[in-house]
Amino acid sequence: MGVLFYTKTMKKQSLSDRILAYYKKRAGEKISGGEIERLVAQNTTYKASNASRRLRELHEDGKLAREEIKGTVFYWYAGKIIKTQSYQIEMRDGQPVAVVV
């Protein structure tokens, strides 16, 4: 799954913000709570139970969706990822036309 929780820019970020950023990077991917607990315990000074609590809070706040499958709880980013498009105006047959670039 890769390096998660410690970079210089994340040093002052809350655990909830770190977890949410991790899920945003993997939007649409279901990741088990146990995997997040393991990553947090290995890469931070927080206990796994703290990660569990933050996951539940993020779910209660509507930021993460949740599903239990055979006793394992999976979470994924519940927000919408908005991709912006750039347009360019071109003249075609004397008329301005917006073209996606």
pLDDT digits (tens, 9 = 90+) for 22-49: 999 998 899 999 999 999 999 999 999 9
Q: How many domains does the chain have?
A: 1
Domain annotation covers residue 101: no
Residue 79: pLDDT band with limits 50, 70, 90: confident
Mean pLDDT of the chain: 83
Does 1 score more than 50 pLDDT?
A: no
Q: 12 vs 34, which has greater pLDDT?
A: 34
User: pTM value?
Assistant: 0.69
Residue 19 lies in a domain: yes
73 forms bridges with which residues in the sheet?
A: 68
Alpha-carbon span 79 to 91, nearest angstrom: 38
Interval 53-79 mean pLDDT: 92
Is 3 contained in some domain?
no
For the chain, give the longest Cα–Cα distance.
Answer: 66
- Residue 40 sits in a domain of what CATH number? 1.10.10.10
Range of the domain at 63: 8-79
